[in-house]
Chain A
């Protein structure tokens, strides 16, 4: 089992380090890179939520406009006007008050 023993000895992590095979890695830069990727993903998600809400509002407006008369349409618009900020608020909150990595 000579080769087997040799392999075990030479490939031990401390030996690899002594041979300068295990190089230093800047872990902090990896964390920063990961943070950037996460921010981009979050922004994409927020954009998607925003677009979905806008589309839903648009569909709602068009449907009520077509189905109901102008008068009813405006009444519905006024009645549901308070709904828009409530729907959009979580998106704004997430976007502007996002928690950063400490």
Chain B
């Protein structure tokens, strides 16, 4: 079944179509949320909440953007709410409390690299981080990012540039 048909069926209340849609998109969403929150446990919670909101509000999806973009938009708003509720600008937990992963031995080097990369992302504010991730990992255009993040294109540009500047500083 095509995505448009799946969405149509999901809107009509077809549970299996809805499940297929979520299954198709949740990995991209999870990957994005992990990079946005830089926290594995929080990412799991935000992803679940995002999917829950998406199912409840499926009828308000207008098909203007792709389904995954819509999910990303919901996840950003969910994370914003989380930060507001917890009165924090950004999570500041240390990276030391990363949970151990099974089958870790083979991937130890990669895991170290991952932690290093997450550490760098964490040093930026979530707004800059999110703009950077959307642009460089998911290939969204500046216009799309401005719609997703609900801010002007100029702001998106400056956020991304500041991120790159910061990364350059780290390298030098």
Contact = CB atoms under 8 A, between A and B. Distances in A.
In which size bucket is the chain B interface?
35 or more
Interface in B57-87: none
Contacts of B12: 102
A9 B58 CA distance: 33
B171 A19 contact: no
Interface stretch (A33-41, A43-51, A54-62, A65-73): A33-41
A22 interface: yes
Nearest to B106: A18
For the complex, would chain B's binding face be called helix, strand, loop or mixed by DSSP majority?
helix
B35 A27 contact: no
Contact of A8 (B107, B137, B164): B137
A11 B51 contact: no
Nearest to A23: B44
A88 B1 CA distance: 41
Contact of A22 (B31, B117, B136): B31
Interface residues of A, number: 35
B19 A10 contact: no
Contact of A37 (B18, B56, B111): B56
A81 interface: no
Interface in B101-132: 101-103, 107, 110-111, 113-114, 116-118, 120-121
Nearest to A13: B31
A78 interface: no
Given A10-B117, A18-B107, A22-B30, A30 B55 contact: yes
B147 interface: no
Interface in A11-28: 11-13, 15-23, 25, 27-28
A25 B30 contact: yes
19 contacts: A1-B168, A2-B171, A8-B136, A8-B137, A10-B113, A11-B117, A12-B137, A15-B110, A19-B114, A20-B103, A23-B30, A25-B47, A27-B26, A30-B48, A31-B15, A34-B55, A37-B52, A100-B13, A102-B13
Interface of A: 1-4, 6-13, 15-23, 25, 27-28, 30-31, 33-35, 37-38, 99-102
